[in-house]
Amino acid sequence: MLKQNVEFLDLEGNKCSETMHFNLTENEMTDFILHEFPNGNVQESMNAMLKEGNQTLLFDTFHHITEAAYGTPSEDKKHFYHLRNENEKRELESSCAYQELLTKLSKDESFATKFYQNIFPKDLLARAEKEAKEQLSKQ
């Protein structure tokens, strides 16, 4: 689980800070890869988007990954609850903290790389990509 502190200005211009939580299990990563990356390879797909200069697709991908991983850990830290419905998604998307996070992710390549490496740890990502490729080959 990644705990990310986000500093932002609220709607009245007051400085605020919020800790946001992000987590994806190996199964969630596999499912996400199958739906978002047709070739089953996250890094290859992201590099292609960067090379093509497709900023809109890249931003949409960042948004989807971040939204999919966002949630709340249980008090005992044994469960992680993702967004369950459109109301919860709208609440997240309309928050000043989330908007600031997306802005930083889209403008600071070093921050974005570190952030997504923490959401997609290499060992889990490698296994999830392998599983996704195996499922894609069966289709």
Q: How far apart are CA 67 and CA 24, in angstroms?
A: 11
15 domain residue, yes or no: no
Section 92-107 average pLDDT = 93
16 domain residue, yes or no: no
14 domain residue, yes or no: no
Name the token pair of 103.
Answer: 């802005």
2-16, 26-40, 56-70, range with the lowest pLDDT: 26-40
**pTM of the full structure:** 0.81
47 domain residue, yes or no: yes
57 and 65 Cβ atoms separated by less than 8 Å: no
Residue-wise DSSP of 19-59: EEEE---HHHHHHHHHHH-TTS-HHHHHHHHHHHT-HHHHH
- HSE at residue 100, side-chain half, CA atoms within 13 A, is 17
92 domain residue, yes or no: yes
Section 78-85 average pLDDT = 92
Count of CB atoms situated within 10 Å of the CB of 45 = 18
Residue 79 belongs to what domain range? Answer: 2-9+21-137
Section 121-133 average pLDDT = 77
Q: Total structural domains in the chain?
A: 1
